[in-house]
Amino acid sequence: MDIIYADNNATTQIAPSVLDEMMPYLKDYYGNPSSMHTFGGQVGKKIQEARAQTASLLNATPEEILFTSCGTESDSTAINAAIRSNPTKKHIVTTRVEHPAVKNLCEKLAKDGFRITYVPVDQNGALDLDFLYQSLTDDTAIVSIMWANNETGVIFPVEKIASVVKGKGIAFHTDAVQAVGKIPIDLKNSDIDMLSLSGHKIHAPKGIGALYIRKRTKFSPFLIGGHQEKGRRGGTENVASIIGLGAASRFSQELMEKENTEVKNLRDTLEKGLLEKIEHSFVNGEKERRLPNTTSIAFEYVEGEAILLMMDQFGICASSGSACTSGSLEPSHVLRAMGVPFTAAHGTIRFSLSTYNTMEEVNRIIEKLPPIIQTLRNMSPFWKQNQ
């Protein structure tokens, strides 16, 4: 059975050109980049090339890029660095809709005595900026706001927020794991202090990420060890994956235009087709300021997990808007924060496309999904009650 992979916000296929660049560094050039000999030294040079490629995707300088193991590590490194660098400040500002990489860290820090302000969103997923600005105090150590939401694709005005936060002398971090590679990012002309990204969302392998740290930003390392990464992260480098991230950054830069035209057109066609064919369905979140590849669609009165299982039989891969916790299917914290009604949040499916998807695949989803929803609705007591 052919797979239709529409779950690219979860992870992406490694681009063949990325894999080609990595292979020699898994097989032949296995030297340690910290070694004095030429054999290791040549690997170090290739890491610097990857650093420059990653910087270029963000319009940053190579010295501002720190390689990490993933987006989660980048988020933790940034937030922990800010609170360690400002030991007297005990307040953190973030949003209600962050990825668990930030959300769960903040919940842990709350237990450690930090005061956390969670900025709310409206029913379109847009941030309450007045609430955010009013929450900033002399005690605020860091503001961490995601660039784009992984579930709905809604984009936050982080550049605007960063300049207000900077004006108050507070550190600003953004989790841009979903934004990088999908929308243009220009850090040179922004007030963002730190930015997290992850390789496996942009066609590099899993287990590699990066943190942008603006020059002169106060920093304190998370992993203490050797002198790698200029002492900002100990541990022998994940060489092949770093090279993969560099290659993927170049690949993403080349594809940015296509992402915002062709991939967007696929997403729009999918969205329109499903909404037209399936009654009682709607898009979660504002449609304009949104990632070009993502759509979160609520199919009322059905269970998202049941939809996923039935789509799986046709090889269609997507994600639901629920988090399976302790046996009960809770709608995601993002949809709850937006006030999406229970009967819609439960039936939400996120489709996230990439440059590897085709119109034929989109049409197949539009053909296969309506009968699946109808079958499930015929079994649903909620559906019957609302007819």
Cα–Cα distance for residue pair 278/128, rounded to 1 Å: 32
Tell me: does residue 295 bind ligand PLP (CB under 6 A): no
- Interface residues for ligand PLP in 56-85 (CB under 6 A)? 70-72
- At position 178, the amino acid (one-letter code) is Q
Tell me: does residue 99 bind ligand PLP (CB under 6 A): yes
Cβ-based nearer residue to ligand PLP, 22 or 97: 97
Torsion on CA atoms 8, 11, 16, 20, rounded to nearest 10:
160
Cα–Cα distance for residue pair 80/220, rounded to 1 Å: 8
Cβ-based nearer residue to ligand PLP, 228 or 352: 352
Tell me: does residue 175 bind ligand PLP (CB under 6 A): yes
Among 13-21, 41-49, 174-182, 221-229, which window interacts with ligand PLP (CB under 6 A)?
174-182
State in angstroms the smallest separation of the CB of 276 from ligand PLP. Answer: 29
Q: How many residues belong to the site for ligand PLP (CB under 6 A)? A: 13
Task: List the Cα angle 75/78/82 in 5-degree steps.
Answer: 140
Cβ-based nearer residue to ligand PLP, 178 or 322: 178
State in angstroms the smallest separation of the CB of 80 from ligand PLP. Answer: 15
Tell which one of 177, 242, 302, 349 touches ligand PLP (CB under 6 A). 177
Cβ-based nearer residue to ligand PLP, 101 or 366: 101
Tokens describing residue 352: 């996230």
CB 151 within 8 A of CB 350: yes
Cα–Cα distance for residue pair 6/341, rounded to 1 Å: 25
State in angstroms the smallest separation of the CB of 67 from ligand PLP. Answer: 12
Tell me: does residue 198 bind ligand PLP (CB under 6 A): yes
First CA to last CA distance, the chain: 36
Tell me: does residue 101 bind ligand PLP (CB under 6 A): yes
Cβ-based nearer residue to ligand PLP, 209 or 244: 209
State in angstroms the smallest separation of the CB of 198 from ligand PLP. Answer: 3
Q: Which phi and psi angles does 59 have, rounded to 5°?
A: 50, 55
State in angstroms the smallest separation of the CB of 5 from ligand PLP. Answer: 15
Cα–Cα distance for residue pair 361/364, rounded to 1 Å: 5
Among 78-86, 170-178, 286-294, 338-346, which window interacts with ligand PLP (CB under 6 A)?
170-178
Instruction: Give the closest residue to 366 by CA, choosing from 261, 293, 266.
Output: 266
Tell me: does residue 125 bind ligand PLP (CB under 6 A): no
| Minimal CB distance residue for ligand PLP | 71
Tell which one of 150, 152, 320, 355 touches ligand PLP (CB under 6 A). 150
Q: Which of 70, 106, 317, 324 is catalytic?
A: 324
Tell which one of 14, 141, 146, 338 touches ligand PLP (CB under 6 A). 146
Cα–Cα distance for residue pair 19/82, rounded to 1 Å: 35
Cα–Cα distance for residue pair 224/312, rounded to 1 Å: 44
Catalytic annotation on 324?
yes
Tokens describing residue 307: 């939809």
Q: Are strands 91-95 and 140-144 parallel, antiparallel or unpaired?
A: parallel
Tokens describing residue 94: 């973030």
Cα–Cα distance for residue pair 335/259, rounded to 1 Å: 25
Cα–Cα distance for residue pair 133/135, rounded to 1 Å: 5
Cα torsion 355, 356, 360, 362: sign? negative
CB 197 within 8 A of CB 73: no
Among 52-60, 163-171, 173-181, 372-380, which window interacts with ligand PLP (CB under 6 A)?
173-181
State in angstroms the smallest separation of the CB of 142 from ligand PLP. Answer: 16
Q: Which phi and psi angles does 199 have, rounded to 5°?
A: -65, -40
State in angstroms the smallest separation of the CB of 13 from ligand PLP. Answer: 15
State in angstroms the smallest separation of the CB of 383 from ligand PLP. Answer: 31
Tell which one of 76, 77, 86, 178 touches ligand PLP (CB under 6 A). 178
Which residues of the shown chain bind ligand PLP in the complex (CB under 6 A)? 70-72, 99, 101, 146, 150, 175, 177-178, 198, 200, 209
| Positions marked active-site | 324
